[in-house]
């Protein structure tokens, strides 16, 4: 069997190494059901909250919910790509903060700079930070948890050194740029449309391109992926590059959304991002899940943050609810993995 044949066997359409067409179909069904479950939980939460306070679904509140989940959803898409490869990026909050402050400084120092240029600069800065993470992890083979925990503090330290206590306010940025944070198209915020575009593009690349499917193979079994001819180091590097670029884009949108930027922008946000991805059905051990589920997880966590105060739940129990969701998601991932393994073994036995 040639190397391309081995690679085709190693990379199934849904990421797991299949034992046959039924195996790939089983993976697809299990995770579609998982994402539908997240959507059902979201609808149930909104319904209960609406029954308590009908203003919860007012036009302005729905707009605020969409705006609130946009930045988290974009970060979750990038994080999902990384976690699918059995890694994690803890530096996304610091990258967002650094890119947001860089965007503000760019407008202060160059008042006439075009908005697309500012978006490209912020995204490129995030990609550079992601390249640092990916290079250390792929080339030196240092665990991602260790590397990104270190760069979390390095990037945040650079941000604080650069800012030196300075704050950039809305008056320092162009009105046209700030309008991006509140503008709507047919009642839908522009920032939400940007998040949808990012989500659709990432989902399409992961499903329809070999390089995307190879990320699932790496997460399922890195050693088997390497033996089958997949460039594991290069793919992991690209995953972190994408995560950094999306964190940089999120930083630009953060500046447009809030209009005020300092060295604390995005502080602690990385934990919420990982929570959204895990709750959204992306297995923390890699190899399965989708960016669509991660985005749903981001919307669910944002809605929980808005709905529980309406229901009279204290902030402590809000955090406890998110923690319970994470534990439930990990337990469900394990149960699905065991069930899938049994079904695949049963199918293999019958096939032989």
The dihedrals phi and psi of 231, each to the nearest 5 degrees, come to: -80, 85
- The pTM assigned to this predicted structure is 0.87
Picking from 168, 262, 277, the residue whose alpha carbon sits closest to that of residue 219 is: 277
**Which residue from 118, 123, 36, 35 is spatially nearest to 80, judged by alpha carbons?**
35
- Rounded mean pLDDT, 199-218: 93
Q: What is the pLDDT of residue 28?
A: 55
Q: Is 258 exposed, middle or buried (0-12, 13-18, 19+ CB in 10 A)?
A: middle
7 band by pLDDT with thresholds 50, 70 and 90: very low
* Residue where the block lists tokens 């522009």: 190
Mean pLDDT of 41-68: 90
Residue 153 to residues 92, 97, 167, 250, 268, Cα–Cα distance (Å):
11, 12, 20, 19, 11
Please compute the mean of the pLDDT values over residues 280-289 and round it to a whole number. 85
Q: Which of 347, 352, 351 is nearest to 22 (CA)?
A: 347
- Judge whether residue 79 has pLDDT over 90: yes
Most confident range, picked from 7-21, 125-139, 271-285, 309-323: 125-139
Average of per-residue pLDDT across 235-255: 96
User: Residue 347 pLDDT more than 60?
Assistant: no
Q: Do 85 and 234 touch, CB atoms closer than 8 A?
A: no
Separation between Cα atoms, residue 44 and residue 352, nearest integer Å:
45
Instruction: Name the phi and psi angles at 168, rounded to 5.
Output: -100, 125
Question: What pLDDT shows up at residue 33?
Answer: 62
Q: Given this model, what pLDDT does residue 35 score?
A: 79
- 28-42, 79-93, 116-130 — which is least confidently predicted? 28-42
Average pLDDT over the chain, rounded to an integer:
86
pLDDT on residue 11: 46
Residue 15 confidence (pLDDT): 42
* Residue range 146-180, pLDDT digits in tens: 999 999 999 999 999 998 888 999 999 999 999 99
**Segment of 38-47, 97-106, 316-325 carrying the highest mean pLDDT:** 97-106
Q: What is the pLDDT of residue 327?
A: 82
Q: Are 10 and 268 in contact (CB under 8 A)?
A: no
Q: Does 255 score more than 90 pLDDT? A: yes
Q: Which of 4-8, 160-164, 285-289 bottoms out in mean pLDDT, i.e. has the lowest?
A: 4-8
121-155, pLDDT tens digit by residue?
999 999 999 999 999 998 888 899 999 999 999 99
Is residue 326 pLDDT above 50, yes or no?
yes
**Residue 346: per-residue pLDDT:** 65
- Taking the C-alpha atoms of residue 324 and residue 210, their distance in angstroms, rounded to an integer, is 36
Give the highest mean pLDDT range of 1-5, 69-73, 141-145.
Answer: 69-73
Indicate if the pLDDT at residue 30 is higher than 70. no
146: tokens are 């260790």
At 9 the pLDDT is: 42
Q: Which fold has domain 55-343?
A: ABC transporter involved in vitamin B12 uptake, BtuC (1.10.3470)
DSSP 8-state code for residue 274:
H
* Alpha-carbon dihedral sign for residues 139, 140, 146, 151: negative
pLDDT above 70 (res 350)? no
**Given pLDDT bands bounded at 50, 70 and 90, which one contains residue 249?**
very high
Q: What is the DSSP string of 169-222?
A: -GGGS-HHHHHTTT-EETTEEHHHHHHHHHHHHHHHHHHHSHHHHHHHHHHH-H
Q: Mean pLDDT throughout 255-266?
A: 92
Buried b (16+ CB within 10 A) or exposed e, 71-85: bbbbbbbbbbbbbbb
């Amino acid at each position: 069997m040639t190397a391309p044949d081995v690679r085709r066997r190693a990379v199934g359409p849904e990421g797991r190494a299949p034992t046959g067409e039924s195996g790939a179909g089983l993976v697809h069904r299990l995770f579609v059901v998982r994402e539908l479950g997240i959507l059902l939980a979201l609808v149930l939460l909104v319904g209960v909250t609406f029954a308590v306070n009908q203003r919860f679904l007012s036009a302005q509140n729905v707009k605020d919910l969409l705006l609130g989940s946009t930045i988290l959803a974009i970060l979750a898409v990038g994080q999902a790509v990384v976690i699918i490869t059995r890694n994690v990026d803890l530096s996304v909050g610091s990258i967002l903060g650094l890119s947001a402050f860089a965007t503000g400084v760019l407008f202060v120092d160059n008042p006439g700079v075009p908005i697309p240029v500012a978006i490209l600069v912020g995204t490129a800065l995030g990609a550079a930070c992601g390249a640092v993470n990916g290079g250390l992890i792929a080339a030196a083979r240092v665990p991602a948890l260790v590397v990104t925990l270190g760069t979390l503090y390095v990037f945040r330290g650079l941000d604080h050194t650069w800012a030196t206590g300075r704050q950039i306010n809305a008056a320092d940025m162009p009105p046209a740029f700030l309008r991006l944070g509140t503008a709507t198209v047919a009642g839908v915020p522009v920032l939400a449309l940007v998040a949808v575009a990012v989500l659709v593009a990432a989902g399409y690349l992961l499903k329809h391109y070999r390089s995307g499917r190879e990320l699932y193979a790496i997460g399922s079994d890195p050693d088997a992926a390497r033996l089958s001819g997949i460039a594991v180091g290069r793919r992991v590097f690209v995953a972190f590059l994408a995560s950094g670029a999306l964190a940089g884009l999120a930083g630009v949108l953060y500046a447009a959304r809030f209009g005020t930027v300092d060295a604390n922008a995005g502080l602690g946000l990385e934990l919420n991002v990982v929570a959204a991805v895990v709750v959204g059905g992306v297995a923390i051990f890699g190899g399965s899940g989708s960016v669509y589920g991660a985005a749903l997880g981001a919307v669910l966590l944002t809605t929980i943050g808005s709905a529980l105060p309406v229901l009279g739940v204290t902030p402590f129990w809000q955090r406890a609810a998110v923690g319970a969701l994470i534990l439930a998601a990990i337990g469900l991932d394990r149960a699905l993995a065991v069930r899938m393994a049994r079904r695949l073994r049963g199918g293999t036995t019958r096939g032989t």
